[in-house]
Amino acid sequence: MEVTAKKNEQVANMIFASIYPHYLNRIEKNGRTKEELDQVIQWFTGFDQATIQALIDEKVTFGTFFQKAKIHANAHMIKGVVCGYRIENIADEFELYRQCRQMEKLIDELAKGRKMEKILREEKK
């Protein structure tokens, strides 16, 4: 599937606080915890727990959420298909859309029971 400017804008305008409960529900149904979800989001975005909660309380859009984030240096290691989109094939002009799909990929892996040390990618030495 191809990302379009319209799709990128739709995602940018979605409210993070309205999607977060869906993430939480998904991982809890699979025996994972809110703490683990937040750990994954913190690794990816560089936010601490208080910042994540503040962004939820402020009802920021994904556009603002990712603008404020300091995306992890190993985010390029997040590959695969999410919602029909191959992450590594999403054009640079749609960076926000790619970041959203990368975060969703991490959350998918968490929900599927992948070990945390595999989810939080490290460069092989």
Extract the tokens encoding 112.
């599927």
For every residue of the chain, DSSP letters joined together read ----HHHHHHHHHSBHHHHHHHHHHHHHHTT--HHHHHHHHHHHH---HHHHHHHHHTT-BHHHHHHH----GGGGG--SEETTEEGGGS-GGGHHHHHHHHHHHHHHHHHTT--HHHHS-----
Q: Within 10 Å of residue 26's Cβ, how many Cβ atoms?
A: 16
For 24-49, how does the pLDDT look when each residue is reduced to its tens digit (9 = 90+)? 999 999 999 999 999 999 999 999 99
Rounded to two decimals, the pTM is 0.93
Q: What is the pLDDT of residue 123?
A: 73
Tokens 């305008």 belong to residue: 13
Q: State which residues of the chain have pLDDT below 50.
A: none
Q: What is the pLDDT of residue 2?
A: 82
Q: What is the pLDDT of residue 125?
A: 63
Domains assigned to the chain: 5-119 (1.10.8.290)
